[in-house]
Structure 1
Amino acid sequence: MKIVWAVLLGAAAAWPQDGAALFRQACGDCHRPGGAPRAPLPEALAAMTPASILRSMESGSMRDHAARLTATERDALARHVGKGKLDSTTGYCTAEVRSRTDSSFWNGWGANVGNTRSQTARMAGLTAASIPRLRLKWAFGHPGVAAAYGQPSIVGGRVYLGSQSGAVYALDLATGCTYWSYQAEAAVRGAPTIAAVRAGRYAVLFGDVKANVYAVDAHSAALLWKTRVDEHPAARITGSVVLWEARLYIPVSSIEEASARDPAYPCCTFRGSVAALDAESGRTLWKTYAIPVAPAPLRKAANGTQLHGPAGAAVWSAPAIDAGGRRIYAATGNGYIEPAAPTVNSILAIDMDSGGVVWSTPLGAGDAWTFDCLNRNRSSCAAEAGPDFDIGASPVLARTAEGKRILLAGQKSGIVSALDPEARGRILWQTRVGKGSLLGGVMFGLAADESVVYAGNSDLPSPAPGGLFALRLRDGARIWQAPSAAILAAVTAVPGAVFSASMDGRIRAHASGDGRLLWEFETKRDFETVNGVKARGGSVSGGGPVAANGMLLVNSGYGVLGGSPGNVTLAFGLD
């Protein structure tokens, strides 16, 4: 899940200020075919603006790696790499449009606090019979970016979504016109949550990749509060925030394992966590680290660099809420340094009132991996590099038709696991849907109804990646498998159908009973947009399709992980 733009290598001495030469010497080792697996290729970087590239180097994801560059060199590199332009935007809503409301919604990551990503017929307004009638209604272009990955939320006839540029938008569901935009400090990857935080005042709640959490007024975009939940320079929020009973639960991840690509980096000191904030004020109520022991000096690498640990166990995804048990369930990623902590690649059950860990179930022990493991001469990598099999997908709290609760986890190993939340996370069954790799397996999300679990498989960069799988909820038995290109994006279920979107840029709907194809749309093309921004679709990853009120919303464009860049949000409705 460690999705990064670059790892800048090489000695600072004698770096020229010519942008092309800088790129070859400082960036070319990663930003090339066969380079770092999560580094975007030059054509993807070119879709971004010079300002976005510079911001990443000075205060964003690449700050540590660009620290050895002078300000002049950073500016030259940004101007060479970033070719995108901020188009002037149009398409703002008129007064006549502003009065529209609707009771159907998809609020936050999983459509509900159990993260099932399964909509009822009333909420979705879509069924297997109606899906073939879906037609493109409007397209919205995100200016100056190479990826569209902030999953939309649909509430009150409005669409709320973030972007790679840090812009957060409120759009009209029916027309795509813009009510307002708000500029966060950094990219917003998760789905916003919309909720009443004060008497009569609704807020849009979200996090950014600088570990800031925001509450902005849902009608005016005025900032209500802002809280930074982790001071580590590599900390970020990639998962969606989750609200329950006036508390906001925040998953905290990092990109420190990318910093470790530099042999001189003193790996590693970040620990994943979940924080609880008061939704009205943004005040931190508690914070629980996935690794309870604070990092300390461990040993020195062969090159003399001081190493630290334990570290890692990033929480990449939205937690699931167990209202009856007063617990939240969070998934963790790999460790960064050996020995890996016992809680890496685990499901944690956390008391929602106190923040105490009630139990944990490991689903891949001993996994220590960083980008240093890709270096020829390793310094901080484990003696036996782990497979990097994070649980990057959000936990899903499902319920069978008979009322039994089952906690589901999808993992980059390619395994879907079912746990018993009533028996301290005892494993009920495990089913393999992919071979597993650095890029998945199951990457961003499962869907589940009362009888079936739906899982998309990536398995990049294998010769035969992909596949959509339906598993029986009660025992994990495979019901059907449908062919597909690599699926990294979360999948979504509605009555009689399941939606997936893949790295080849296609959106598909399959019948939930037997997997037959119901509908398909190619997004990898140019689109005319309602806001006048030049836009094109590409690969689809991260947030998955969102369905509400007879509409289907999907982002297209993902210029990392070998994907095709793009910058468009697409809205489909019934003809």
Structure 2
Amino acid sequence: MAGIWQGTLHVREGNGPDSDFRVVLRISSQPNGSSVATLDSPDAGRLGISIKSLKTDDTSLSLELDDPKASFSGRLSADRAALTGEWRQQGQTIPITLKRVPEAPDFAQDGSYLFQSRCASCHAPFNPVRAPWPNTLKLMTRPAILNALESGKMSAVGSALSHEQRVAIANYLGVQPLPEQTTSANACAKDSVPMGNSPSWNGWGVDLSNSRFQTLESAGFDKSQVSRLRLKWAFGYPGATSAGGPPTIVGGRIFVAGGDGRIYSLDMRSGCVHWSFLPAATARAAITVSPDGSTAYFGEIQARAYAIKTSDGSLLWKTDLDHHPFAMITGAPKLYAGKLYVPVSSAEELAATNPKYPCCTFRGSINALDASTGTLLWQAYTIPAAAQLSAKNAVGTDMLGPSGAGVWSSPTIDPVRHALYVGTGDNYSDPASATSDAVIAIDLDTGKMLWTKQLTADDRFNVACFSPDKSNCPKNPGGDFDVGAPPILRTLKGEKNLLVVGQKSGVVYGLDPDAQGATVWQSRIGKGGALGGIEFGGAAADSQVYFPLSDWSPDPKAGGGIFALDLASGKQIWSTRAPEPACLGKPGCSAAQPAPATAIRGVVFSGSLDGHLRAYDALDGKILWDFDTARDFHTVNGLPAHGGSLNYAGPVVAGGMLFVPSGYSINAGMPGNVLLAFSVDGK
């Protein structure tokens, strides 16, 4: 019986499709005549599984395992080349034939084994880090997966693998890309009308104060017309499983970071393509356009800032802002008085899952650039001093800190106080800093830190805390209560200013910018958590502020809802619970509402992970309009497109139209690849 035996188990998975699991049995003879064996199950991510008991004779073999609880019994064929029998596990009896092979397979470059052993624990259904499920990953193209592992969000994990191993994972999971798409079939006419001065939505928050409130004149429709909103056109992003960033509307054109990695300039009325530009890495934030309409600015996930011409998409300049290997730009830049202010965050929290990674050294920052040249004028770190060695982890790897406090969102500009305000994330490692989970005020000219208001102290967290190997998890980790949404600057009656800040803790704060950020009021709207509370932001109009609630959990009916608070006092005016999702049973379906809200006069728009975009009455929270985006669409560019979850990229309103990207697979939402445009009666 000594030798290598290989076969495949065809396992029935409930109501889903059957799964195949390769089995390799390695038997060796001992000097005393007995036999010992181990079992490899590469498609379960396990090699060298111990055999509890092994019995053999000239014609048969039986074995039992403890982990997993399973057994096999089979008979040897006449030519001694095959063992045919039954595998018993979890109440199933599965016929299987193990064939003798000349040598053991090498799983070091096997995509299935590498994924199961290195990645599957974080990508399991209902995983705590809300990573995309395997069914979503298998919709992605192989180049997209490889790019994510080598230079994208998953590069922190991919860095522990060789290039060949990353290719093997991409080939195992991904699909072949479609033939390269061109824009010629949907190109705008060469004599199309030049950019004009029509109503706009510029950048992430529409204005310097990040209010996400559009006036009646700029919105082009009001509450009485919301129920008549109809789909006007849809635009599909080729090969994408997420729909990219939120659109910017300037001069009758859309400027948007597409889910396929390209920057697009589209006509807002028809969706035709003026041009596209491919940056060196994926961009996910909103684009900011200069006041004269000539230049578009954005950042990408390798921490580079760009300026391109709005006329044809040609590159003007590109500037590296942070050479940390996991630094990235996730927040939209802000342009003011000739300076471009760019936030920097990172994916180093993911790198911490590798116990051999020295965690952690990244520091968040705000960077001021000369908008015309891209020259760095100043760089303000959220943690003033670089990380220092603090300890060794369980496997002897250096642990460093303080680290983290990334700036995930667009800065808020205060021309009166000549300051900008940013929210910061948690610390990744010990020791904690006084600037994590905080609002920081920074001088616009010098980058000097004016004041810091920490909302949650001692919040040290990284993804190792959710991983099987917790070597890099800080002692007594915090709740991961980032201030991931930008502060909203508003003026109260009597000309008093207030900063309104939503946090992942589930608490909304009113802070006084004239008193070092002192708390004026605070109001809890949710339980909060690593994936809870307020994730991407709210909207403020007149005397009220509106915040959608995430509070995501594995229960798809839990979480969600939207809350209206009085700006002056923080008292709750109304709240509307999330409807039960219609997508129950679909992977990624959830009632959670992490997407930022958008307000116009009398109406608040909010999207949900269940794919629904809803309009709420600003007076009482009644749902006025509801559109399910999680379906197939015919697109103006002729590509297959499907909607999914609404998350990071909130709705945008300008010039009588409403725009929303649908599909967000990054954090276990429902995948999709479409930008949708609505207008009153679809006209």
TM-score by length of 2: 0.80
Counterpart residue number, 2:637: 531
Deviation (angstroms), 1:377? 4.4
Counterpart residue number, 1:211: 303
Counterpart residue number, 1:365: 457
Name the larger-Rg structure: 2
Counterpart residue number, 1:4: none
Distance 1:325 1:51 in 2: 47
Counterpart residue number, 2:421: 329
Counterpart residue number, 1:483: 577
- Of 187, 193, 196 in structure 1, the residue corresponding to residue 282 of structure 2 is 187
Q: Does 1:163 align with 2:255?
A: no
Deviation (angstroms), 1:565? 0.4
Distance 1:101 1:319 in 2: 27
Structure 1 residues 14 and 415, CA gap change in structure 2 (3 angstroms): farther
Counterpart residue number, 2:646: 540
Distance 1:184 1:552 in 2: 27
Alpha-carbon displacement from aligned partner over 1:134-176 (angstroms, at most 9, x marks no partner): 1100001111111113010000000000024321000000000
Deviation (angstroms), 1:214? 0.4
Deviation (angstroms), 1:246? 0.8
Gaps of 5+ in 2: 1-44, 48-104, 579-590
Task: Give yes or no for contact 1:401–1:450 (8 Å, CA) kept in 2.
Answer: no
Q: Does 1:233 align with 2:325?
A: yes
Q: What is the one-letter code of the residue matched to 1:117?
A: R
Structure 1 residues 560 and 71, CA gap change in structure 2 (3 angstroms): closer
Alpha-carbon displacement from aligned partner over 1:284-342 (angstroms, at most 9, x marks no partner): 00000001111111111122111111101000000100011100001000001122101
Deviation (angstroms), 1:401? 4.2
Q: What is the one-letter code of the residue matched to 2:288?
A: T
SS in 2 for 1:206: strand
- Of 114, 117, 141 in structure 1, the residue corresponding to residue 209 of structure 2 is 114
Counterpart residue number, 1:47: 139
Deviation (angstroms), 1:10? 9.6
Q: What is the one-letter code of the residue matched to 2:598?
A: T
Counterpart residue number, 1:423: 515
Alpha-carbon displacement from aligned partner over 1:175-207 (angstroms, at most 9, x marks no partner): 0000000001122111100115xxx77111000
Alpha-carbon displacement from aligned partner over 1:86-124 (angstroms, at most 9, x marks no partner): 453431111343346342000001010100000100011
Deviation (angstroms), 1:213? 0.4
Distance 1:325 1:477 in 2: 27
Distance 1:266 1:75 in 2: 25
Deviation (angstroms), 1:57? 2.0
Deviation (angstroms), 1:67? 3.3
Task: Give yes or no for contact 1:559–1:566 (8 Å, CA) kept in 2.
Answer: yes
Task: Give yes or no for contact 1:41–1:560 (8 Å, CA) kept in 2.
Answer: no
- Of 258, 269, 276 in structure 2, the residue corresponding to residue 174 of structure 1 is 269
Q: Does 1:492 align with 2:584?
A: no
Counterpart residue number, 1:466: 560
Distance 2:568 2:525 in 1: 16
Distance 1:561 1:538 in 2: 12
Structure 1 residues 84 and 130, CA gap change in structure 2 (3 angstroms): farther
Deviation (angstroms), 1:25? 2.5
Structure 1 residues 101 and 310, CA gap change in structure 2 (3 angstroms): same
Task: Give yes or no for contact 2:560–2:593 (8 Å, CA) kept in 1.
Answer: yes
Task: Give yes or no for contact 1:468–1:481 (8 Å, CA) kept in 2.
Answer: yes
- Of 482, 503, 510 in structure 2, the residue corresponding to residue 390 of structure 1 is 482
SS in 2 for 1:350: strand
Counterpart residue number, 2:367: 275
Q: Does 1:304 align with 2:410?
A: no
- Of 226, 247, 258 in structure 2, the residue corresponding to residue 131 of structure 1 is 226
431-440 or 59-68, larger mean C-alpha shift: 59-68
Higher relative contact order (CA 8 A, sep 6+): 1
Aligned length: 563
Distance 2:400 2:243 in 1: 35
Q: Does 1:355 align with 2:450?
A: no
Distance 2:151 2:424 in 1: 26
Q: What is the one-letter code of the residue matched to 1:403?
A: E
Task: Give yes or no for contact 1:442–1:488 (8 Å, CA) kept in 2.
Answer: yes
SS in 2 for 1:448: strand
Distance 1:44 1:143 in 2: 15
Q: Does 1:73 align with 2:173?
A: no
Structure 1 residues 492 and 99, CA gap change in structure 2 (3 angstroms): same
Deviation (angstroms), 1:403? 2.5
Which runs of structure 2 are paired with 1:141-152 in the superposition (5 Å)?
Answer: 141-152=236-247
Deviation (angstroms), 1:527? 0.4
158-167 or 364-373, larger mean C-alpha shift: 158-167
Task: Give yes or no for contact 2:412–2:421 (8 Å, CA) kept in 1.
Answer: yes
SS in 2 for 1:334: coil
Task: Give yes or no for contact 2:329–2:345 (8 Å, CA) kept in 1.
Answer: yes
Distance 1:72 1:363 in 2: 44
Deviation (angstroms), 1:550? 0.4
Distance 2:319 2:404 in 1: 22
Alpha-carbon displacement from aligned partner over 1:232-270 (angstroms, at most 9, x marks no partner): 000000011100011000110001011001111100000
SS in 1 for 2:389: strand
Task: Give yes or no for contact 1:50–1:78 (8 Å, CA) kept in 2.
Answer: yes
Distance 1:78 1:535 in 2: 22
Deviation (angstroms), 1:462? 6.1
Distance 2:192 2:490 in 1: 38
SS in 1 for 2:123: coil
Task: Give yes or no for contact 1:166–1:185 (8 Å, CA) kept in 2.
Answer: no
Counterpart residue number, 1:33: 125
Give the % identical residues: 45
Distance 1:287 1:135 in 2: 45
Distance 2:405 2:656 in 1: 39
